[in-house]
Amino acid sequence: MQQSMEKNVEKQMIIRTFEPNLDQLKQTARQLAHMQDVSLNLYGQASEVLIVVTARAFAQAAATELTESVAEQFELSLGDTVYGRGKGSLAYFTAGELIEHEANIAAADAETGALLEEEFSHTKRGPSVFDFGEGSYHDRRFLNKVQAAEERYADEGDAAQSVAARAVAASKYGHADFGAAVMGIGSGEAVYIAVAYRGYVYLRRFKDSDTASKSAALMMLDLIRRLMKKQPVNNARMFKAYSDFDWNEPITRKRANPYLAPIIVLAVLLVLLAGACWYFFTHYSLGGGQGSSLPADNSTGASVPAAPDVQAPAPSVPQPAGDGNTSGADSTVPPAADSVQPADSTPTASDGAQAGGNVVQPFA
């Protein structure tokens, strides 16, 4: 019975980081060291640090909960330097981001290609994002184009400009989203790495050492991963592609304002609302007073003007002189104002004159 109550269920989790803040890492590890039934082990190589968390509990669910809690504490403390959990390498997670965004990488030369090939060869995702030299650094025509670009855009003896020109040319002539290049390994001095992406090139420089090859490969993969996830790349210097840049004067890209898109949408909605209100108040009236108007009835097809209140007097018609029953004075008296003229009355002399012909009076 005593043996069955022992915490014999063990759960292990690996938290993978690249270039974490070591002071922050040690502080978090000390804070979690007091937790019972949890042990921590750290393994580092070429700026990559693996945190192995081991938890013991009575049941599998309790052990899993412990490891998840510890992993969340490290991720919260170390930020974007944590690139994944589990047994997958940095190349594995970088390839996953490239597959999700349908992007790929091209190496500028055989040296760079060998470094990336070594990392991608350990994951099945590698062939989906890296050509392993089939269309780039094993092709003589490709290498000649890269060399020509380096001679054209880089000053002689400037290693930073040379590696940047190689990376940009690899992306262009390799028909890839990313171009990568490395220079200076084994020189005993400075090592430069470059990653070209969307018209810009990102460079890093570090001192040559025994682990320079591994560090250069991981740095390139970490840069690509950050660019894919739109994370800050504060550990690299950014320059315009194919530019005669100065290493000490990098450019900075302004971070996108997260409130810009909502502000634009709100402004467009306000403009539409104002236009709708203007249209409503200019075409319809809600008051019903003197200035109100009703929509016209177009069913009749044409409007008919209203008759005037007072009819204009008819022009006088001259009478012949031989009529003895009426006097000359009576013949000039106009009809009464209240008399109504029939609609089909005979045209008057003025109407005939307007028509352009002689008018014969039927009652003359």
List domains and CATH numbers for the chain.
Answer: 9-85 (3.30.70.2860), 90-240 (3.90.950.20)
**CA Rg, the chain, in Å?**
46
Extended beta strands in 184-249, E state: 190-197, 200-207, 237-240
Would the pTM of this model clear 0.85, i.e. be above it? no
Q: Which residues pair with 39 in a beta bridge?
A: 54
Residue 268: which residues within 8 A CB-CB, separation 6 or more?
Answer: none
Tell me what pLDDT residue 260 has.
67
Q: What is the DSSP letter of 295?
A: P
Tell me what pLDDT residue 328 has.
42
> End-to-end distance of the chain based on CA atoms, in angstroms?
143
Tell me what pLDDT residue 285 has.
54
Residue 117: which residues within 8 A CB-CB, separation 6 or more?
Answer: 130, 132, 133
Residue with token string 């290498």: 143
Token digits for 151? 């001679």
Token digits for 143? 């290498």
> What length is written for the chain?
364
Tell me what pLDDT residue 134 has.
80
The amino acid present at 278, given as its one-letter code, is W
Q: What is the DSSP letter of 345?
A: P
Tell me what pLDDT residue 5 has.
60
Element (H, E) at 14: strand 9-18
Token digits for 5? 């109550």
Nearest Cα residue to 46 out of 182, 224, 210, 192: 210
Tell me what pLDDT residue 351 has.
47
Spatial distance between the Cα atoms of 284 and 264, rounded to a whole number of angstroms: 30
pLDDT (tens place) for every residue of the chain, 364 residues total: 444 567 778 899 999 999 999 999 999 999 988 888 899 999 998 899 999 999 999 898 999 999 999 999 999 999 999 999 998 999 999 999 999 999 999 999 999 999 999 999 999 999 999 989 887 899 999 999 999 999 999 998 899 999 999 999 999 999 999 999 999 999 999 999 999 999 999 999 999 999 999 999 999 999 999 999 999 998 999 999 999 899 999 998 655 555 667 788 888 888 888 888 888 778 775 554 444 444 444 444 444 444 554 454 555 545 444 444 444 444 444 444 444 444 444 444 444 444 444 555 554 4
Q: Tell me whether strands 105-107 and 178-183 are parallel, antiparallel or unpaired.
A: parallel
Element (H, E) at 162: helix 159-173
